[in-house]
Amino acid sequence: MLKEFREFAMRGNVIDLAVGIIIGAAFTTVVNSLVNDIIMPPIGYIMNGIDFSNFFLVLKGDDYASLQAAKDAGAVTINYGQFINAVINFLIVAFAVFILVKQVNRFRKQEAAAPAAPPAPTTSEKLLTEIRDLLRQR
């Protein structure tokens, strides 16, 4: 059973999947930073300093100045601002994956369209060519 597991784990697809998950986790961190630190501040500035991540609706409890204050007080909230950030994150990741897949497909089409070099002659073909050339010389 251990041998079978080792063979399974060392297959190319499993290793590719593991690399994809690791890269995906790192990419998620970068996209979250891009959205929260680069994209959302200018949008908030344009909208007179509104911070999307601080948009929430209190279902149970008093009114609170911020989402953190509501959480600290134990209020029940719907955090639709954080949902907006998550949707923007998703759209950015989806667009980046779309661009990546589009480029990979473009390179594959170029490889398929490029004429392949003729295969090198085999040893027997080389010998037959030499024999033919010697017969012509006679």
- For the stretch 52-109, pLDDT in tens is 788 899 998 788 888 889 889 988 999 998 898 888 878 887 887 788 788 888 888 8
Return the percentage of the chain with pLDDT > 90, whole number. 10
Mean pLDDT, the chain, rounded, equals 83
Q: Is the CATH number 3.40.50.720 carried by domain 2-112?
A: no
Strand stretches in 1-138, DSSP E: 57-60, 76-78
Question: pTM of the full predicted structure?
Answer: 0.55
Q: What is the pLDDT of residue 79?
A: 92
Which residues are within 8 A (CB) of 101 and not within 5 positions of it... i.e. 6 or more apart? Answer: none
Q: What is the pLDDT of residue 41?
A: 81
Best CA proximity match to 52, nearest among 79, 76, 77: 79
Name the CA dihedral angle for 47, 53, 55, 58, rounded to a multiple of 10 degrees.
-170
* Per-residue confidence band for 12, with pLDDT thresholds at 50, 70 and 90: low
